[in-house]
Chain A
C-alpha cells in the first residue's frame, strides 16, 4: 500500500527490530506503554481544551508528538532513580514510577492531582503555586525542581547522584533537555563535570528541531547532536523519538552503562515539535515554520507507530488498532471518545482535585525566604 514517496519513507523508517531490552517486554508491557502514550497525549489535549473553555490560564508547553520520549525513558527506571524534567515534559512529573501503580500514593512520582493543582495554580501544587508550569519538584519523589533557566538544573542532577553514590546508592538520573538548551555554557560545564567524575547522568536530548523560533541549525552545527558526546569521552546514542520502544532500548542501554559505574552518556531522541513553542506561539509558529516541514514532522505519530509495531508483533489485531483513534489529531479534532476510558477517568480525577483546591493565602507571598526553624 506504500505508494507515495512519504509513505515509502515512513515504512522504511519503521523497518524495526526489537532491541536488547524491548525484546524482553511482555504483551502487557506493550499494552501498558500504549496506554501511557494515550495518557500523555490526553493530558496535552485536555489542558488545551480546558484553557479554550476558560477554566485555565497560563501558558501550556505541548509535548504533543513527543510523548514517546517521556514514556519510553521512564518505563525502565527504578523507583530510586532521579529525573530532571523541563517545560516540555509535564506528564513526566506524574508518570514517574508508574510501574508501582498509577494510583499508588507511595510510588516515587507525583500524583496526577498535585500536578494538575500546579497547572491550575492552586495551593495543593507541590510548590504551592509560587512558580508556574513545570517549575516543581520533590526530593522525596526524586524529581529535581525545574526552573526557567535552560540547562540550569543539570549541575544539580550531577550533584544528587554524586551524593547518592557517596551514600552507597546506585541511583541514576535522567536529565531532559531541549536541543536548543544544549547551547548554554552551563550544559557543557555540567556534562563535563559528570564525565570526569563518572557520574550516572543520562542526558536526554529531545531534539524537536526547533527552539522557540530558532531552527536547530542555528543552535549547533552537526547532524547528530549525540556525536557531541565524543568530545566528552562518553557514549552518544541516537533514538527514534517517535518510537517508544527505541527510546526505551537506548535509554536502558545508557542507564545500564551508568548503573554499572561507567558514567554519563547522551541519548539524542529525534522528534518534532507539533505546535508552537507554547500555546501563545501557535499562530506565529504557523508562519515561521513551513507547512510541509510540520506535516512531515508529524507524519509518524508515536501512538500510530506503537500500534503498527504491536500489530506486527501479534500483540494487537487490526481491529483493536482501530479503537480509540487519537493519533494524527489536534486538540480541536479529538474528543474523549478517542481515548481509552481509564485514561480519561484518571486525568479527570486529577483535574477535579485541582479545581477544588483553593488559592494560597496572600501572606504566603512573604513566607519561606529563609528557613526559620534552626
Chain B
C-alpha cells in the first residue's frame, strides 16, 4: 500500500490512500483524526487499513464532534504533530467552522509568526451524485474568504496523491476538497509515482487541453465537463483551452494570464453558487490584470444560487453541465 506499484493504473481514491500511507510511513509525527476513520476505515474507505497499520494512537476514531475534532487537531499541531482531519462529508464542516477560521487559520498571525499549524483538513465534496442538500456542497468560498488557510481541489488520481502529500508537508493549514464522484471512476485511473516524485506543488495550475479561441478555467469534477464542452466547441469551429487551476489559495494567476494573451476570451466554471463564489474571484482578478486583453465580457458558469436539491431533474437544473458550458463559451466566442 505504501509504495506505488509500477505500471499499475490507480483510481483517485487510491491516490489519496497512497498519499496518506506514505506520509504516515515517512513521518512518525503524522496523525489522523475523524469520524469512523479507524474501525470503519472512513465512510468512503480512504483510511481503510490505516488504524491496523499505525495503531489507535495515530489514527483516532473521534466522536461526532467536528468542532472538537478540529480543536484537538489544532492543539496537537501546536505541540509538534502534523494532523490530518477527515470531514466525513465536507458539508458537515460547518459545525467545526469556528475552530477552523478563528482558531486554526489565525494562529500564525496572532502569534506574530511563532506558531504555524501543520494541519490538513480533507473530505469528500461536490455534487452530481444525488447527494442532496447536505452531501453535495462545494463550500470552498467560505474558507477562501478566511485568510490563513490554503485550499486545493484535485481532479485526477495523480493530483489527488500529489496535492495531498504537498498539503501534509506545507506548514500551514491546508484544505483538500476531494471530488467524491471521482473517487472510484476507473476511466480516469492512471499510473502513480511514489514518495517525493509524486508531489504536486500547491499554487500551480495545469493546461488540460490547448486551444486558441477561448480560455475555460475550472477545477475539480468540472474539468471533465469542460473537456467535453471543448469537443462540442470544436465542431462549432472554435478551439478552447482548458485550464485546471488545482489550487485556489494560492492561485496560479499567471497560467490564466498567459492563456488570455492567446485567446482573449474567458469562461470560468465551478459548481459552487455564483454569488461570492471563487469563479467570481477569478473573473475579478483577470479584470484587474487582463482588462486590455479581453475581447468579450468574461462569463461564469456556476451552480444557481440555490442549495443542491436531491432528485436528478432538480440537481441537473442547478449544477453546471456540458451544455451550459458549451452555450456560454459559444456566446463568448461569438461576442
Contact = CB atoms under 8 A, between A and B. Distances in A.
**Which applies to chain A's interface (DSSP): helix, strand, loop or mixed?**
loop
Given A214-B64, A365-B318, 7 more contacts: A130-B310, A135-B134, A149-B92, A184-B95, A219-B64, A288-B40, A365-B314
Contacts of A132: 132, 310
Residue among B39, B133, B135 with the highest chain A CB neighbour number at 10 A: B39
B316 interface: yes
**Which applies to chain B's interface (DSSP): helix, strand, loop or mixed?**
loop
B63 A186 contact: no
Contacts of A212: 35-36, 40, 43
A89 B133 CA distance: 20
A310 interface: no
A271 to B, nearest CB: 18
B311 A121 contact: yes
Contacts of A362: 313-314, 316-317
A117 to B, nearest CB: 12
A146 B63 CA distance: 21
A366 interface: yes
A183 B91 CA distance: 18
Interface stretch (B160-168, B172-180, B248-256, B301-309): B301-309
A108 B41 CA distance: 42
B35 A214 contact: yes
Residue among A147, A148, A284 with the highest chain B CB neighbour number at 10 A: A148
A135 B133 contact: yes
A276 to B, nearest CB: 11
A152 B66 CA distance: 12
Given A186-B95, A365-B317, A130 B64 contact: no
B61 interface: yes
Contacts of B314: 129-130, 360, 362, 364-365
Contact of B92 (A148, A219, A288, A360): A148
What are the 10 A-B residue pairs with the smallest beta carbon separation, nearest first? A213-B40, A183-B63, A148-B134, A365-B314, A365-B317, A213-B36, A362-B313, A362-B317, A132-B132, A121-B311
Given A366-B306, A366-B317, A131 B132 contact: yes
A288 B45 CA distance: 13
A118 to B, nearest CB: 10
A181 interface: yes
A284 B48 CA distance: 12
B311 A129 contact: yes
Nearest to B89: A148
B63 A180 contact: yes
Given A131-B134, A181-B64, A213-B39, A369 B306 contact: yes
A183 B68 CA distance: 9
A363 B316 CA distance: 10
B16 to A, nearest CB: 19
A229 interface: no
Nearest to A285: B40
A148 B135 contact: yes
Residue among B130, B311, B318 with the highest chain A CB neighbour number at 10 A: B311
Given A148-B92, A212-B36, A284-B40, A365 B64 contact: no
B91 A148 contact: yes
A16 interface: no
Residue among B61, B63, B67, B94 with the highest chain A CB neighbour number at 10 A: B63
A121 to B, nearest CB: 5
Nearest to B36: A213
Interface string A336-374: 000000000000000000000001111111100100000
A364 B313 CA distance: 9
21 contacts: A57-B130, A121-B311, A130-B133, A130-B307, A131-B309, A135-B133, A148-B134, A149-B94, A149-B95, A152-B95, A183-B63, A183-B68, A185-B95, A284-B40, A359-B311, A359-B313, A360-B313, A362-B317, A363-B317, A364-B314, A365-B315
A226 to B, nearest CB: 18
A211 interface: yes
B102 interface: no
Contacts of A284: 40
A2 interface: no
A181 B65 CA distance: 8
Contact of A129 (B36, B305, B310): B310
A83 B132 CA distance: 24
Contacts of A147: 133-134
A183 B92 contact: no
A360 B35 CA distance: 35
Interface in A283-311: 284, 288
A334 interface: no
A131 B68 CA distance: 28
